[in-house]
Chain A
Amino acid sequence: MPVERGDSPFVGKLKSAADLEKLKLTILSERDPGKPCITVCMGTGCHAYENEKVFAALEKEIESRGLSKKVELRGTGCHGFCEQGPIVVVFPEEIFYCRVKPEDAAEILSSTISENKVIERLLFKDPLTGRKFTHESEIPFYRYQKRVVFGRNKSIDPKNIDDYIAEGGYQTLAKALVSLTPEEVIREIKRANLRGRGGGGFPAGEKWETTRRAPGEKKYVIVNADEGDPGAYMDRSLLEGNPHLVLEGLILGAYAIGADEGFVYVRQEYPLAVENITLAVKKAEEYGLLGENILGTDFCFKVKIRRGAGAFVSGESSALMSSLEGKVGEPRPKHINTAISGLWGKPSNLNNVETWANVPLIIDRGWEWYSGIGTENNTGTKIFSLVGKVNNTGLIEVPLGTSLRTIIYQIGGGIPGGKKFKAVQTGGPSGGCIPEKFLDMPVDFDSLGELGSMMGSGGMIVMDENSCMVDVARYFMSFLKSESCGKCTSCREGTGLMYDILDRITAGRGSKEDLERLEELAWTTGNTSMCALGKTAANPVLSTLKYFRQEYLAHILDKKCPAGVCKALIRYTIDPEKCTACGRCIRLCPQQAIRGEKDKPAVIDSDRCVRCGICLEACRFEAVLVE
């Protein structure tokens, strides 16, 4: 069972907005803002770097020094800078330490806490300039961001509802229940022009209104946390890092739409997100923020958590609703919108995690403030997962309309190893690859669509000169082929046939006619499939064909893979000038494909070589070449 950290000064249900305000003041009065607080990022990204051991080591040090009353230790949500995990921030000075190890705990206590000294070794060092930074806000990765949705992750313990309340959490809900009608809430969302962050970019306010006006008493609201795009994990980090923000958005939505029941559909592959949102719902119920007569009003609303079992297509709204009903998560035709007839045939409004998380901010600060961020038809911020061949891997939040160049070079710190940028892939398997010439394009729903890609849920995968675009197209098609539910023939067969052709090309057996066949199949699959999976399945193929046709032709005509990726078209050799005859590759080659004599450069037998890459990795003198 989930365990809650921190002591609550409060037991029982809140009966009014005044009760909530009183609770907030009580929590704040018991907290000393000047008291040192060491926070450790407890997100899944940092978990992979063993953040728990760091947390335990700090806990032990605090205890052994008898500082339990004087120093607070808090596990927080994801800071986004996954490249530098585990991340530890010492408040109130906000000293930002990265790549912290359990062994560093003693020094953090003895130097930073006791003597107010900054530990140079743990500061972030900019790989480009060598400059060190003491505070998070100064680091280029953060400086160019606008973290309005994500911002509170760094200071809140997601397992402690009081942290959220202390920062003004649920105040917006209280305000809305007392002073706004449901219609007024919808109007605010519509004016803010909040567009769905899950991929389609459909205006959330319109969808809410349709659901509200749909006939029937019983209505549902749903959080889609079935984040399935490979390389995208923004929703997980929000749900893990600040579950009450998502929940407050959902409750506001339920009030506006007139729903009395909601679901959070979250991937079971996200255990921490499941744990934190489950605990958040339980605590909100205990506090009277969910359940009967919320905050003493007539409004009643309950939330259930359901775990998805890993089917990409189940992230589609009608498929997700099928899955919630305990059925196979396949899409159905949407001639009747799910807003009219969704879950168990009732009007149902589904939005993704990030969309819901934006709602309390809009209602709190007003649509004018919100539409001041971003561009005219693309308001607000968007969270992206910036990954792949980029220096600063992590989750970033920027105003819509920020250029790809700012994101990749200023925030992302450019391409590692001095390699050349080749493309950035957005929109997951439904998106496309954008080449260098469009780096100054603003990133928003409309511009990305014009380039043959799409916003998707916010995955942004950077590729360099060593990424083969035909291989990338083949990769996505392999993904879509196995994730297609098979209901529509064109999607089931189309993705399979496109995969076969791409596989043939990467194996060096492609012909020029294959490119025409690909285009034809792409057209058919896109135009005759029912759901978005099939409709957009061709994007990775079409965008690479459009912008990287030369690379396809190199595979077909020259039988070469310019990026050095496709095994059938590459050859490993050893540069005799660089080889020192150390014999390391000879010993490690699992195929015994490398021969060499004492003091003579080694030679690779191409017939025996399986191109596993071990010699390339093993060589300390960069003598192994890929041709």
Chain B
Amino acid sequence: MAHITLPEGLPGITGPLAFRPETAKPLRALAELLLRGPNTLSSADREIIATYTSSQNDCHFCQTSHGAAAAHHLGNPSELDANFVLIAQIKRDFESAPISSKLKALLNIAGHVQQGGKRVTTEDIARARREGATDTEIHDTVLIAAAFCMYNRYVDGLATWAPEEQEAYIPMGARMAHEGYVAGPAPNSAARPEAVTV
């Protein structure tokens, strides 16, 4: 049960977002900008950074929903199972996963941000540059990882409800990937309990 009385039937962050619409607006806008805004990093790469950070923070709702969004960004629905396998591998050990050296270097930075900002070293940055990351891509990686250290704590710090099984997150991930984070359900509306989430 959640620590405070939240609107019923809304999973993860959507409960507290509906509880406090004033803060929901910038929280949704930030996710939309960072994960779906114009960027030289693909949305799949950005969702993978978010998923990995959420996994390191042990946030079930965020790592599963953003993992599903990443899987949808990575390819057509027939490839979904393979994409979920890849996401699980990245969460377990990204260095040995079949992804670009650049994404590995960015995930290394994100992992250090998750532990604490001061853990990011000049060598972490140099490695990302060697693999072709730009200053803006490094900036965005740091801010995506930092933002998920916020969202994860918001979701778990209020003990929000979330579905356990991955199947529940497949349609949710599709909406996050294709419709985005801004046009959510009306506050307190449980009509689409799985609707657009962060």
A and B bound? Answer: no
Point out residues on B near A: beta carbons under 8 Å.
none
